[in-house]
Chain A
Amino acid sequence: MSTIAVQQGTKWWSGGRSPFNANYGKVMMWYFLMSDAFTFGAFLISYGTIRFSVNHWVDPNHVFNSFPFAGHTNLPLAFVSLMTFILIASSVTMVLAVHEGHKMNRAGVEKYMLMTIIGGIAFLSCQAWEWTHMLTGQHPVLVDGVVEYWNTTVAHNPFGPEVAYTGTDPLFIGKEIATPGPIAFGSYFFEITGFHGFHVFSGVIINIVMYLKTKMKHFELRGHYEMIEKAGLYWHFVDLVWVFVFLCFYLI
């Protein structure tokens, strides 16, 4: 906040300068991100509306409880915490790249951009595993008195309310069995995490372009690393959205 003191008495709105003291590109990146926040917000609020409108919703701890190479061990929240920490860590390396850019240290920018790109790819790999797990994992579900094995897709999910099994299958006699869950769960999950994953993917592409431009000394010749700052804004926004996706799908 020390900067506020610097411009006391400056006539910001009398023309000849940006009243925001920022370049067009950076201001527009902020406004783009604001509109994107509304897009994600609308998705998440629509998910919330549907979730509020039904009597039973899927228990996330029951759905997201597996970890790669851990078999059927019940590990609620474990994998998604790993994904969250990967994204926070890559956010830190991104802001360190911006910091090195302010100091005009090209080697530092390159190093941290590379680490950010690796973090982004790691996150995408985790998401690919999670989607595969959701789409291929089979769960018993009671459909019209018959036990079927369902995966989770945009059309159905096997995580509905549990009922006592009254049929003849010896595997399930005397046990509780799930009924079909709310259809909207799969569609919202794949829609919102997919849209976020697409943002991560495009962020990784942007970061790769920025990394190559840094390596080719484009920014060094230009005299500033503001492009890294703009790419950084986008990348942090991706992290910001994940914070809310994490909240809405995994925690509550």
Chain B
Amino acid sequence: MSAEFLTQEITFHPEHDETTKPIWRTFWILSLLTGIELTIGLIIYNIHKGDHPNTSLVLAFKGMVCILTLAKAYYIVAVFMHLGSELRNMIMTIVVPLGLFVWFIIAFLWDGNSWKNLRNEYNGMPPSQQLEKPAQKAPAAIEKGAKD
């Protein structure tokens, strides 16, 4: 690195790796994680093909894929985007606001789920206009779901 690059803003240079070893290592990690994700995807596909898919098993596999995705995101950001070698101050100004996603995801998925429950319960009508509960809840619910 040339000396002219040192400015008022850059007071020292982070040590850059001399070799490309960490890059290739990350590439293999990402490929491996993607491979595992695809395997799980195919497992889910085969569970779905059965007559009575085990929903909690499918949910467990989906949770595993989500965790693997977060691991991939970590490797891309930390190694490929070099955020891991920035100053801690800067890392925090980027990572801490992203914590909002925790609330964001929980709140909105919860809302979606509650929406579904209300619709199934009241068959699309507000409780005040609800004269009697529909006799057959399930087929009506599926039809309703398909329309939305």
Q: Which positions in A face B, CB cutoff 8 Å?
A: 1-4, 6-7, 10, 12, 16-24, 27, 30-31, 34, 37-38, 41-42, 45-46, 48-56, 59, 61, 76-77, 81, 84-85, 88-89, 91-92, 94-96, 98-99, 102, 104, 160-161, 179-184, 223-224, 226, 229, 232-233, 236-237, 239-240, 243-244, 246-247, 250-252
Give me 12 other A-B pairs in contact (C-beta within 8 A), A37-B98, A53-B111, A53-B115 excluded: A3-B87, A10-B11, A18-B8, A34-B97, A41-B104, A48-B112, A59-B48, A61-B44, A61-B48, A92-B27, A236-B77, A247-B65
Q: In the complex, are the beta carbons of B87 and A12 less than 8 A apart?
A: yes
Minimum distance in angstroms from A156 CB to a CB of chain B: 11
| Known A45-B104, A55-B116, A104-B2: A20·B90 in contact at CB below 8 Å | yes
Query: Chain B contacts of A94 at CB under 8 A?
Result: 80
Q: In the complex, are the beta carbons of A7 and B87 less than 8 A apart?
A: yes
Selected A-B contacts with CB under 8 Å, 11 pairs: A6-B15, A12-B89, A22-B10, A22-B87, A46-B108, A77-B45, A84-B34, A88-B31, A88-B34, A95-B79, A224-B1
Q: In the complex, are the beta carbons of B66 and A252 less than 8 A apart?
A: yes
Complex formed: what's the CA distance from A160 to B20 in Å?
48
Complex formed: what's the CA distance from A184 to B147 in Å?
9
Q: In the complex, are the beta carbons of A30 and B38 less than 8 A apart?
A: no
Q: In the complex, are the beta carbons of A23 and B148 less than 8 A apart?
A: no
Q: In the complex, are the beta carbons of B113 and A223 less than 8 A apart?
A: no
Q: In the complex, are the beta carbons of A250 and B41 less than 8 A apart?
A: yes
Q: In the complex, are the beta carbons of A77 and B80 less than 8 A apart?
A: no
Complex formed: what's the CA distance from A88 to B75 in Å?
12
Q: In the complex, are the beta carbons of B144 and A55 less than 8 A apart?
A: yes
Which residue from chain B places its CB closest to the CB of A18 in the assembled complex? B9
Q: In the complex, are the beta carbons of A236 and B81 less than 8 A apart?
A: yes
Q: Which of B83-99 contact A (CB under 8 A)?
A: 83-90, 93-94, 97-98
Query: Chain B contacts of A237 at CB under 8 A?
Result: 81
| Known A61-B45, A224-B2: A56·B37 in contact at CB below 8 Å | no
Prevailing SS type, chain B contact patch: helix
1/0 contact string of B35-72 vs chain A (CB within 8 Å): 00110111011001000000000000010011001001
Q: In the complex, are the beta carbons of B81 and A233 less than 8 A apart?
A: yes
Which residue from chain A places its CB closest to the CB of B116 in the assembled complex? A53
Q: In the complex, are the beta carbons of B2 and A27 less than 8 A apart?
A: no
Complex formed: what's the CA distance from A8 to B31 in Å?
37
Which residue from chain A places its CB closest to the CB of B58 in the assembled complex? A252
| Known A19-B89, A88-B30: A49·B108 in contact at CB below 8 Å | yes
| Known A19-B89, A160-B146: A99·B8 in contact at CB below 8 Å | no
| Known A223-B4, A250-B41: A161·B146 in contact at CB below 8 Å | yes
Q: In the complex, are the beta carbons of A251 and B41 less than 8 A apart?
A: yes
Which residue from chain B places its CB closest to the CB of A74 in the assembled complex? B45
Query: Chain A contacts of B5 at CB under 8 A?
Result: 223-224, 226
Q: In the complex, are the beta carbons of B105 and A48 less than 8 A apart?
A: yes
Complex formed: what's the CA distance from A180 to B146 in Å?
7
Query: Chain B contacts of A84 at CB under 8 A?
Result: 34
